[in-house]
């Protein structure tokens, strides 16, 4: 099976209404990453110093050496930045989700106590704040297990949420496989939570952000002024708030770091943003675990047809009749590079139509001649396919007068004699009068023009048939 694993479709053109508590127009969720003491450092048994997310431009790792300046910047986050942020959010009565690196939490007992006293959620940010991309699968699985063990020991309860950040291609699957997480956040691909099927488990994904994130103070292109940070957050919020007011509420994630947003010149922007959102009605500021609980309750996993996961017999059985009496189209479409984007009506129609369009003229003619005459003898004898029977009935072609039936028969005969295939029209786009008008208009076309139009109508018929099966 030629299958493409990435999901480029998501919720499609009409995402679900999350039905946030209290009818909120937007859910604004603040995350504080607690990494200080868990970063790369030779004191922690790592091969080199840290080089990521600090105020040192162009920092590089120092192999085998401690980087005193880098260490002290991380220490600022624990010593001063955390407490400044703690005061801001407790005074604003906004609860946080902490992404806590387990080894960092173990080295910061006072901060952990303050997090718990504030009622903040402490989710797992992995065992150490290091890269995982080159980890062997068994090594990463063991690191996940140790992160959970140490987190539970330090915090007093196991984490219910997970975010690695510097993850591998295996991370989400391995965390879901562990089975104890209400959500995983190692994605950046949506404005709403969604369910991801991983093995036998439906894992809730709550996407995170790297753009509404103070990390942009430490990267290029990024921000050097707190006003840039405030303006970006305000513009994002205003856009999402307006969408929510129009009936399509979303989620806004905001990522913070103690050593970045905890600096005086940066936290001022955050304080302005909090004042901005608190001036609006209908803003919900939950912890991530509360979003997970709400989504699981209001939007549980839904099982439906998933064409990209079907084997060939099931695929052909399901879609072989979409093009009238032409299962070979579905047989060929099965061999295309299908993926989650094809698990909808538009996706399968595209795959089937590709095979129809790339077929020889003789093969396409065979599809056209497989279609019955409109209101013809097969219909009268009750020998149409179920799809054709329903379609013709939808336009009232099963309730013709004798005069109307005789007129259709005469036109069908003339049309077939001239063009070599039946008159084809997507009856669900029409009614009896518009079908008759199209019959008279098209019957005098040349064969090439009419062959092209008939093929277009066949694809339109497929569109409607697939809408009956798939979202």
Q: What is the DSSP string of 11-75?
A: TTTSPPP---GGG-SEEEEEEEEE-TTSBS-GGGT-SB---SSSSSTT----BTS--HHHHHHHH
Among candidate residues 152, 108, 99, the one with its CA nearest the CA of residue 126:
99
With b for 16 or more beta-carbon neighbours within 10 A and e for fewer, the 362-382 pattern comes to eebbbbbeebbbbbbeebeee
Res 58: pLDDT: 78
CA separation for the pair 128, 166 (Å, rounded): 10
DSSP letter for 308, please.
G
Q: Which two tokens stand for residue 373?
A: 């005459």
Here the tokens at position 215 are 């990390």
Distance CA 125, CA 288 (A): 13
Q: Find out whether 95 and 285 touch, Cβ atoms under 8 Å.
A: yes
Count of helix runs (H) and strand runs (E) in the chain: 19, 9
Catalytic residue IDs: 371
Smallest Cα–Cα separation from 356: which of 385, 388, 332?
A: 332
pLDDT of residue 84: 98
* SS3 assignment, position 311: coil
Long-range contacts, 431-437 (Cβ 8 Å, 24+): 431/395, 431/396, 432/395, 432/396, 432/397, 432/400, 432/404, 435/374, 435/395, 435/397, 436/407
Spans in the chain with pLDDT lower than 50: 377-384
- The SS3 assignment for 372 reads coil
Name the CA dihedral angle for 228, 232, 233, 237, rounded to a multiple of 10 degrees. Answer: 150
Instruction: Dig out the tokens for 21 from the structure.
Output: 């508590």
Tokens 């008159």, residue located: 423
* β-pair type (26-34, 283-284): parallel
User: Torsions phi, psi of 197, nearest 5?
Assistant: -80, 115
Residues 6+ away with beta carbon under 8 Å from 219: none
The CA dihedral of 98, 103, 109, 112, to the nearest 10 degrees, is 10
Residue 64 falls in which region: left (phi positive, over 0), alpha (psi -120 to 50) or beta: left
Three-point CA angle 75, 81, 82, nearest 5°? 95
CA dihedral 329, 334, 337, 343 (to 10 degrees): 100
pLDDT at position 388 is: 62
What is residue 129's three-state secondary structure? strand
118 φ, ψ to 5°? -80, -10
């Amino acid at each position: 099976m030629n299958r493409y694993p990435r999901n480029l479709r998501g919720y499609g053109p009409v995402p679900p209404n999350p039905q946030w508590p209290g009818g909120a127009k937007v859910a604004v969720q603040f995350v504080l990453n607690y990494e200080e003491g868990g970063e790369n450092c030779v004191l922690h048994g790592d091969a080199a110093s840290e080089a990521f997310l600090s105020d040192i431009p162009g920092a590089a790792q120092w192999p085998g050496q401690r980087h005193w300046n880098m260490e002290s910047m991380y220490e600022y986050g624990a010593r001063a930045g955390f407490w400044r942020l703690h005061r801001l959010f407790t005074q604003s009565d906004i609860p946080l989700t902490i992404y806590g690196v387990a080894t960092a939490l173990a080295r910061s007992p006072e901060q952990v106590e303050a997090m718990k006293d504030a009622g903040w959620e402490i989710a797992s940010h992995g065992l150490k704040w290091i890269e995982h991309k080159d980890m062997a699968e068994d090594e990463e699985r063991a690191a996940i297990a140790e992160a959970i063990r140490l987190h539970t020991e330090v915090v007093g309860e196991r984490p219910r949420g997970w975010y690695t950040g510097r993850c591998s291609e295996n991370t989400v699957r391995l965390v879901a496989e562990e089975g104890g997480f209400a959500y995983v956040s190692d994605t950046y691909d949506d404005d709403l939570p969604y369910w991801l099927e991983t093995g036998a488990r439906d894992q809730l994904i709550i996407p995170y952000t790297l753009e509404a994130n103070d990390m942009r103070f430490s990267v290029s292109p990024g921000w050097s002024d707190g006003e840039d940070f405030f303006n970006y957050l305000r513009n994002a919020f205003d856009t999402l708030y307006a969408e929510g007011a129009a009936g399509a509420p979303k989620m806004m994630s905001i990522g913070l770091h103690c050593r970045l947003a905890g600096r005086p010149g940066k936290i001022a922007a955050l304080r302005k943003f909090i004042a901005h959102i608190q001036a609006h009605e209908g803003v919900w500021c939950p912890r991530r675990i509360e979003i997970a609980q709400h989504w699981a309750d209001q939007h549980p996993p839904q099982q439906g047809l998933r064409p990209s996961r079907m084997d060939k017999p099931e695929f052909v059985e399901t879609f072989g009749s979409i093009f009238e009496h032409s299962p070979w189209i579905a047989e060929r479409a099965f061999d295309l590079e299908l993926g989650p984007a094809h698990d909808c009506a538009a996706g399968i129609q595209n795959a089937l139509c590709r095979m129809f369009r790339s077929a020889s003229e003789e093969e396409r003619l065979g599809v056209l001649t497989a279609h019955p005459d409109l209101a013809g003898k097969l219909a009268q004898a009750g020998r149409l396919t179920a799809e054709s029977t329903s379609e013709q009935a939808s336009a009232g072609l099963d309730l013709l007068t004798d005069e109307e039936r005789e007129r259709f028969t005469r036109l069908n005969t003339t049309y077939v004699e001239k063009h070599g295939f039946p008159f084809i029209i997507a009856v669900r786009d029409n009614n009896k009068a518009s079908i008759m008008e199209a019959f008279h208009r098209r019957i005098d076309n040349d064969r090439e023009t009419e062959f092209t139009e008939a093929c277009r109508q066949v694809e339109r018929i497929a569109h409607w048939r697939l809408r009956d099966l798939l979202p």
